[in-house]
Amino acid sequence: MKKIAVVGATGYTGQELIRILVQHPNVKVHNAVSSSNSGKSYASVYPGLSKLADFTCSADDIDTLCSQVDLIFLALPHGLAAKMVSKDVLEKCAIVDLGADFRLKNAGDYDEWYDFTHPNPQLLDCSTYGLPELNREKIKSAKLIANPGCYATCSILSLAPLLKAGLIDESTVIVDAKSGVSGAGRSLSLGVHFDECNESIKAYKLGSHRHTPEIEQALNPYAKDSLAISFTPHLVPMNRGILCTTYGSLKKKVTDKDLFDLYREFYEDEQFIRIFDPQSGDYKYPETRWVKGSNYCDIGLSVDKRTNRAIVVGALDNLVKGAAGQAVQNMNIHFGWQESTGLTHAPIFPA
């Protein structure tokens, strides 16, 4: 049994981590760190986990925790993990950071996209981008794993096969993305109050969303030319889910079946990627309701013959495959366990 700590344990992502970890056969939650709930029983914060998470929240710091546990999950707002992680900490335990602090390799990108100067830029070269389907071998030996963002995960998995095959013009890539309200976190904010977002949908951060450089960085190795995407996120009044509709102009004529065969081969051995066959079934394209509560990413495909564009639709649960589930997937790879351990629960429907 490995000892695990979760820092930021009472946010939405931290709660999802705890929910998965208390059902994982190979780990024990040693510490659930929450400065705002220190001293409270975890079940008093999340009664749904009563008799599953019978421990008390603490305010332990990472320098103390790293000598007590085998791995620490950091589920914190951006800017905090960068100040906490050090080479001394990494010598004692592994870190999976669910925030953005170690995703980008260029320290200057944090000034531009996150409005803070990275305090430990030397660690950016030590971090491994934790998207298992594309980076599994590096994750195995990594001590500092940067868990991808939810929008980024869906966008990257949707576009990688097209780019690697050289089928689309890199200058034409558009990502139109929608997220449930839990993606904004548990902190109070006027824009996610019920009366502000219910019965409405809105675009935000046009041309300036922080996941843009992350998506480009991850996909550039698959592109023939430098990639610059147009990324527009939208807030949808639902609790969970990401839906990304991505577009790219095709360089040659292909069919829906050609795309399906390409994606099926690319993700042939990936347990958590499900490709929808556009030629069969009542449901040809993914929906967020079919992935809710699960670690799956569903992908659907179509060719717009009139404009000769590829259209790829990706769907995932932003709190699971887009955050906590993928973090556990990374932990499993790091410790050499079956990658799906603790993650085989089916989607919840209806919910």
66 is catalytic: no
State whether residue 305 is helix, strand or coil: coil
Residue ranges in the chain assigned as alpha helix (H):
12-21, 42-45, 62-65, 81-84, 87-92, 108-113, 132-140, 150-164, 194-197, 211-219, 256-266, 325-335
Tokens of 57: 């929240």
The owner of tokens 């998207």 is: 131
Question: Nearest CA to 88 among 37, 130, 123?
Answer: 123
Return the structure tokens found at 231.
Answer: 């990324």
Q: Which of 66, 150, 154, 297 is catalytic?
A: 150
Token pair, residue 178, equals 């929608």
Q: Phi/psi zone of residue 51: left (φ > 0), alpha (ψ -120 to 50 degrees), beta?
A: left
Nearest to 106 by CA among 132, 125, 93: 125
List, by residue number, the catalytic residues: 150
